[in-house]
Amino acid sequence: METKGKVMNELFNTVTQGAMNDRSEQEARFDKILGNINDNDVLILTSDPFIANKLKGNDPDSAESKESIKFIEKENKSKAFLASGKQYKNWMNENKERIVELFALENASSYVAELAIPKDDRNAYYDIVDKALEAMRQKTDVMNAIKENCGYTGAGEQGVAARSQMKP
């Protein structure tokens, strides 16, 4: 059983290294995320740092925006916060290497998890769970950093009420 766990761990490392050696898929994902965001956008983020909904009209206090935010929170079952499109893009570009590595880790853990793992090999199973949890921890760290560094402050006092309700 220990041998199977070692084989799965080696497979995971090989897949991760392969994903890092051929970065085209991860970089394309990175470029696609940033390609859809303009500097003047106000983004609504919930539980995933790479899924950013744009606030129409960039006015957090409009009735339409409040409804959009409530809907997104309900769908994601997570409290929303607003982020500046410009700061989000800048932060992502400054941390591109970290993000690309996280994408590779996510891809590798998904790929290896899809492989048939004998139920009697708990070591292999727990190795894969550990890798998936590591990807989730890193994603949470990224989300916290985005909250800390990219919060939308608005152009004036007009948006203070809506933003104060959405602080992380």
Q: How far apart are CA 97 and CA 143, in angstroms?
A: 16
Beta bridge partner(s), residue 44: 53, 82
The tens digit of pLDDT for each residue in 103-142 reads 988 887 777 666 656 556 667 777 777 878 888 999 999 9
- Provide the sign of the torsion angle of the four alpha carbons 11, 118, 126, 5, taken in this order: negative
Q: How far apart are CA 95 and CA 111, in angstroms?
A: 25
Instruction: Look up the pTM and report it.
Output: 0.75
Evaluate if residue 92 carries a pLDDT over 90.
Answer: yes
Q: How far apart are CA 3 and CA 19, in angstroms?
A: 24
Residue with the larger pLDDT of the pair 157 and 12:
12
